[in-house]
Structure 1
Amino acid sequence: MTASDDSAAAAVPGAAALSELAAAKAHQAAERWPEAVAGFRQALLQQPGSTEALSGLGDSLRDQGSVEEAIGLLEPAVRRHPESASLHYSLGRAYQRAGRLREAIDIYKSVLRLDPRHADALNSVGLFFSTRGDLENGIKLFQRALAARPDFPDALVNMGLNLKILARNEPALLAFKEAARIDPDYARAHWSEAQLQLLLGRFEAGWRGYEWRWRTREESADRGRLFPQPVWDGGALPDGKLLVWSEQGVGDEIMFASLLPELAATMDCVLECDPRLLPLFARALPKVELVARADPLPARLKAPDIRAQIAAGSLGRWLRPDRASFAGRGGAYLQPDPEKRDRCQARYGSDRLNVGIAWHTTKNEPTAQRRIKLDELLPILQIPGVRFISLQYGDHREAVAKLKAEAGVELLQDPKIDQIQSLDDFAAQAAALDLVIGIDNSAVHMAGALGVPAWVLLPQPPEWRWLLEGEGCVWWPSLRLFRQKTWREWKGPIAEMAKALALHVGQRSR
Structure 2
Amino acid sequence: MGRVVLCLLILIAVPALADESIATLFKHGTTAMDEGRTEEARDTFARAIQSAPSWGLAYLSYGIAEQTLKPDSEKARNAFEKAVQLEPENPRAHYYLGLAYERVGRFSEAMNQYRQAIAKRPQLEDAHLQLGNLQRLQGDHVGAITSFETLIALEPDNVGALLTAAELYEKVQRFDDAEHALIQVTRLAPTVAYHQYRLAKYYERVGNAPKARHAYARADSLKSPQRRKMRPLLPSK
TM-score by length of 2: 0.65
Structure 1 position 28, deviation (Å): 4.1
Question: Compared with structure 1, are the counterparts of its residues 320 and 153 closer, same or farther at alpha carbon in structure 2 (3 Å cutoff)?
Answer: closer
d(CA) in 2 for partners of 1:208, 1:48? 56
Structure 1 position 314, deviation (Å): 2.6
1:208 paired with 2:179, answer no
**Mapping of 1:382-421 within 5 angstroms?**
none
- Match of 1:151, SS state, is coil
Question: Compared with structure 1, are the counterparts of its residues 200 and 111 closer, same or farther at alpha carbon in structure 2 (3 Å cutoff)?
Answer: same
Deviation sequence 1:314-348 (CA, Å, 0-9, x none): 33335744611369x89xxxxxxxxxxxxxxxxxx
Deviation sequence 1:441-487 (CA, Å, 0-9, x none): xxxxxxxx9xxxxxxxxxxxxxxxxxxxxxxxxxxxxxxxxxxxxxx
d(CA) in 2 for partners of 1:81, 1:190? 44
**Mapping of 1:268-307 within 5 angstroms?**
none
1:316 paired with 2:198, answer yes
1:70 to 13, 20, 41: 41
**Mapping of 1:426-445 within 5 angstroms?**
none
Structure 1 position 98, deviation (Å): 0.5
d(CA) in 2 for partners of 1:159, 1:59? 27
Supply the AA of the counterpart residue of 2:41. Answer: A
Q: Contact (CA 8 Å) 1:123, 1:155: kept in 2 or not?
A: yes
Structure 1 position 212, deviation (Å): 9.7
Greater helix fraction, Structure 1 or Structure 2: 2
**Partner residue of 1:94?**
65
**Structure 2 regions of 5+ residues with no counterpart?**
11-18, 214-230, 232-237
**Mapping of 1:361-400 within 5 angstroms?**
none
2:103 to 122, 131, 141: 131
**Mapping of 1:184-203 within 5 angstroms?**
184=156, 189-197=161-169, 202=175, 203=178
d(CA) in 2 for partners of 1:186, 1:319? 21
Deviation sequence 1:184-222 (CA, Å, 0-9, x none): 4556544542443455564413423555997xxxxxxxx
Structure 1 position 124, deviation (Å): 1.8
Question: Compared with structure 1, are the counterparts of its residues 315 and 126 closer, same or farther at alpha carbon in structure 2 (3 Å cutoff)?
Answer: same
**Partner residue of 1:122?**
94
1:61 paired with 2:32, answer yes
- Match of 1:82, SS state, is coil
Q: Contact (CA 8 Å) 1:59, 1:94: kept in 2 or not?
A: no
Bigger Rg, structure 1 or 2: 1
1:171 paired with 2:143, answer yes
Deviation sequence 1:369-409 (CA, Å, 0-9, x none): xxxxxxxxxxxxxxxxxxxxxxxxxxxxxxxxxxxxxxxxx
Question: Compared with structure 1, are the counterparts of its residues 144 and 319 closer, same or farther at alpha carbon in structure 2 (3 Å cutoff)?
Answer: closer
**Partner residue of 1:107?**
79
**Partner residue of 2:217?**
none
Q: Contact (CA 8 Å) 1:58, 1:70: kept in 2 or not?
A: yes
Supply the AA of the counterpart residue of 1:71. Answer: R
d(CA) in 2 for partners of 1:88, 1:50? 13
Number of matched residues? 195
d(CA) in 1 for partners of 2:113, 2:187? 28
Structure 1 position 312, deviation (Å): 3.4
**Partner residue of 1:325?**
208
Q: Contact (CA 8 Å) 1:320, 1:326: kept in 2 or not?
A: no
**Partner residue of 2:223?**
none
- Match of 1:324, SS state, is coil
Q: Contact (CA 8 Å) 1:198, 1:206: kept in 2 or not?
A: no
d(CA) in 2 for partners of 1:80, 1:212? 53
Q: Contact (CA 8 Å) 1:190, 1:212: kept in 2 or not?
A: no
Question: Compared with structure 1, are the counterparts of its residues 166 and 316 closer, same or farther at alpha carbon in structure 2 (3 Å cutoff)?
Answer: closer
d(CA) in 1 for partners of 2:147, 2:21? 40
TM-score by length of 1: 0.33
Deviation sequence 1:93-134 (CA, Å, 0-9, x none): 000001061110011111122112321121222223333333
Question: Compared with structure 1, are the counterparts of its residues 318 and 185 closer, same or farther at alpha carbon in structure 2 (3 Å cutoff)?
Answer: closer
